[in-house]
Amino acid sequence: MKDYILVTGAAGFIGFNLCKYLLKEGINIVGFDNFNSYYDPLLKRKRIDVLIKLASQSKGIFNIVEADLKNLDEIQKLFEDYNISKVYNLAAQAGVRYSIKNPHAYIDANIVGFCNLLEACRKYEVQNLIYASSSSVYGGNTNTPFSEDQSVNHPVSLYAATKKSNELMAHTYSHLYNLPATGLRFFTVYGPWGRPDMALFLFTKAILENKPIKIFNNGEMIRDFTYIDDIVECLYKLLSHPATPDINFRKEKPNPSSSWAPHRIFNIGNSKPIQLMEYVNALEEELGIEAIKEFHPMQLGDVKITSSDNSALEDWIGFRPNTPVRDGVKEFVKWYKNFYKL
């Protein structure tokens, strides 16, 4: 029986781009997604169409399973039907602001769904689990750049709380069942095929339609914008670098990023945070249009600054994200205009 890598959230932004990379490497994939309506499912369907076409031209196999992680029976069937050796969990209910109004969606997808996946990984002895956490776990922390050995005990959104919960759950399974698990704290990922609810997509659409863009905290936000291709490169390299026990771990002085169990936590960001207005300016220059700007106070659950210390990740895999923001914005605009035939 052929070995497969499971990618949950395969129709999502990061999952789709990862699947493209894996297929080009000739890797067999079973994609898993519930195609929910958090944003336009048609975009998700088009991503899958691209993957199916790419699979027909590559040595890798791509199968898509449409189901929901919160359904344990569906997860069990998935692992019974395929010989899954490694897992990327990129499925989640995303969005900080959406979690304020729809908390139960986050518990169902990010807690119940992740628990079901952990159970399947345990039962079927998965060799490497790589799962998405978030820079949001740093919450009210203002000690930048954020490092994995800092406390993440003060989340400011339910989304962040569910992601910290994922890290705790994964560590528990690593300890109890020797499951190698790596949690990745993503920092504001952007690029082609991005999510329509994120700033770059929203801003581009509004500017091209001559509509105002909403800029929160009066533009005084700082973000560590991280280009999708850099993220995917890191994800791929982690396939051959599963988590291992830290032989230097001291229980009397525990390091939150490692463990005596095979569990690791890494930041995954560009390490070059910029003002939001610089991001907007890069987009304006690429489009050749000045945005109509509406300035608003900071929203509930948001944070002023994100900044990633990537030294641990670079030590682990020998690579760190490095794409300049202006280069990434240029690639996104090129994709956007092509996709919407502008």
pLDDT at 84: 96
Burial environment of residue 31 by CB neighbours within 10 A (0 to 12, 13 to 18, 19 or more):
buried
Cα–Cα distance between 34 and 304 in angstroms, integer? 32
Per-residue confidence band for 264, with pLDDT thresholds at 50, 70 and 90 = very high
| 51, 31 contact by CB (below 8 A) | yes
pLDDT tens, position by position, 73-107: 999 999 999 999 999 999 998 877 778 888 898 99
| 306, 135 contact by CB (below 8 A) | yes
pLDDT tens, position by position, 312-333: 999 999 999 999 999 999 999 9
Cα–Cα distance between 185 and 167 in angstroms, integer? 10
| 15, 33 contact by CB (below 8 A) | yes
| 316, 241 contact by CB (below 8 A) | yes
pLDDT tens, position by position, 121-132: 999 999 999 999
159 vs 2, residue with greater confidence? 159
pLDDT tens, position by position, 215-231: 988 888 899 999 999 99
Give the chain's domains with CATH numbers: 3-191+228-271+306-322 (3.40.50.720)
CA 240 vs CA 117, 129, 173, 182, 264: distances in Å: 21, 11, 20, 12, 14
Residue 340 catalytic?
Answer: no
Candidate list 82, 98, 159, 173, residue with the active-site label: 159
- CA torsion angle 18 24 28 34 (round to 10): 30
Per-residue confidence band for 7, with pLDDT thresholds at 50, 70 and 90 = very high
Per-residue confidence band for 1, with pLDDT thresholds at 50, 70 and 90 = low
| 291, 284 contact by CB (below 8 A) | yes
Cα–Cα distance between 47 and 20 in angstroms, integer? 10
Burial environment of residue 189 by CB neighbours within 10 A (0 to 12, 13 to 18, 19 or more):
buried
Token pair recorded at residue 230: 């850099």
Residue 28: DSSP 8-state: -
**Mean pLDDT across the stretch 298-304?**
78
pLDDT at 304: 84
pLDDT at 177: 98
pLDDT at 102: 87
pLDDT at 202: 95
Q: For 271, left (φ over 0), alpha (ψ -120 to 50), or beta?
A: left
**Mean pLDDT across the stretch 8-16?**
97
Q: Is the pLDDT of residue 300 over 80?
A: no
Give bridge partners of residue 88 from the DSSP assignment: 7, 130
CA 38-42-45 angle, to 5 degrees, is 105
pLDDT at 52: 97
Cα–Cα distance between 85 and 242 in angstroms, integer? 12
**Mean pLDDT across the stretch 10-37?**
96
**Range with the lowest mean pLDDT among 89-103, 242-256, 274-288?**
89-103
